[in-house]
Amino acid sequence: MDGLSEDPELAHEILKLLHNKLREARQELQDIELRTKRSGSEIALLDSSDLQQQNDKLRDELADLRLRMSAAAEGEDIKQTLLVGKPESSTPDSNVEEQLQQLNDLIANANERILKNNSRLKRYKSKYRELRSEKVGLELSLSTTTADIERETQSLKEHQSRVLAVEAELSALGPPAPQVPQFDLAAFMSTRGSMVGHLDVTTLQPLLKSTPLLELPEAILTQFGPVDLLVIRPEEVAWADGGVDRAALVTQPYRFDPTARKNTGTWTVNSSLNDLIDNVGRAQELFIRQQDDWYYYGTYQCVGYSPLLETSDTIPHSVVRHVTQATAIHKDHIAPVALKFIDSLYTPEGPLKLQYFALERTGFHREFYEAIRSSVKELQAINAAAAKRGKTVSSIIRRLSLKESSKKRERNPSPGLVSSTHKSKRKK
């Protein structure tokens, strides 16, 4: 420093050099700011060590600038000492203080940007951790979804194979019903029936309790001859509004028995469907079971039938559902997954279609009804005995005659007749 006081020209050159260094420092800080702005979108991708290196570099530059500023201040003091009495040489360095202030401002701005970068770095790190966690979750979800798709694809292939096997078996059985023009069920159900007189079903008396309707007393068969019965359950029928004059009876085209063919199961044409088609236009005495009681509703005939192509308001969904679920018999021998498979065969693209039959009441056989009412005890006894013998029926249409009843009595004599025969043998 003593050498500087002895050489004013050297001091002047040092101030010029500091001035240039200050300008270079300002330019360098501007470049740093520009690079920081441009790389704002890339900070999230930088490793924390890289950002730390940048901050360390900025701090080193700031320390260097502070040293320069200190040297510049010291140089200014030296110059003031050297230039005493020489006012003409003070003009070139009159803005040194202003430049030093600007340098301080730049340093403060650089510190502020460093703090902001650190804050942004923390945010980006937090966001990066969240994205990594989300990526792990998405990868796990993708793996699970892929496994589900593969499993469902395999299940679909197996289902298609089973459907093809069922279609082949049904094709061998032939069509369940002949092709006929589509019957307008909606118009039939919305039109008043031709039957004169309203039937109040609440006034009817139950004729049979807690047992299937399988037989009629011989006295009734003798009086009224062969009788065609239509025996249905309320879950299978949809009544027209306003009474019981018109109805739609829904049934399955095929039945599945899981116990047939050594418990491998087999499909057969529904015998009720064939009998209903064969008896279109013929009078039948309709009996319907309400809970445990059987009621007589009168004489009905079928006036038309068609496949049920799609559900509508005419036939409630509950009826369709019940008939669909009744496709399989002996349900205690079939797995739930097999029942679901059978239900799937009734989809619009499936091979099975329900059939409906339009029934119209044509009369009420009062004498027949009164005769059964007077024979309720006998009717109860013979049907209970038939059920105990294991008698079953495969169709909802039953033709009962005196001749058939006599043959059955010969094969299954009554207990009273057996007792009399044994007594006569013992006497001999």
Give residue-wise pLDDT tens across range 256-312. 988 888 878 889 888 898 899 999 999 999 999 988 899 999 999 999 999 887 766
For residue 6, give the amino acid letter: E
The predicted pLDDT at position 293 comes to: 93
pLDDT tens-digit series, residues 35-89: 666 555 455 454 556 666 777 777 777 777 667 666 655 655 555 554 454 444 4
The predicted pLDDT at position 421 comes to: 36
If pLDDT is split at 50, 70 and 90, which confidence band does 2 have? Answer: very low
pLDDT tens-digit series, residues 80-139: 554 454 444 444 455 677 777 877 888 888 888 888 888 888 888 888 888 888 888 888
Q: Higher-confidence residue: 215 or 171?
A: 215
3-state secondary structure of 290: strand
What phi and psi, each to the nearest 5 degrees, are found at residue 308? -85, 100
| pTM greater than the 0.75 cutoff | no
pLDDT tens-digit series, residues 367-383: 999 999 999 999 999 99
Question: Is 220 within 8 Å of 371 (Cβ atoms)?
Answer: yes
Q: Higher-confidence residue: 170 or 208?
A: 208
H, E, C per residue of 255-314: EEECCHHHHCCEEEECHHHHHHHHCECCEEEEEEEECCEEEEEEEEEEEEEEECCCCCCC
The predicted pLDDT at position 298 comes to: 93
Q: Which of 398, 412, 305, 318 is nearest to 360 (CA)?
A: 305
pLDDT tens-digit series, residues 190-202: 887 666 567 888 8
Give mean pLDDT, residues 201-221.
Answer: 91
Q: Which of 364, 365, 362, 383 is nearest to 225 (CA)?
A: 365
In whole angstroms, what is the distance from residue 269 CA to residue 256 CA?
9
Question: Is 371 within 8 Å of 308 (Cβ atoms)?
Answer: no
pLDDT tens-digit series, residues 373-421: 999 999 999 999 999 999 888 889 988 987 665 555 555 554 433 333 3
Please state the separation of Cα 380 from the chain's center in Å.
48
- Return the bridge partners of 267, or none: 256
Average pLDDT of the chain is 78
Q: Which of 235, 239, 228, 266 is nearest to 251 (CA)?
A: 235
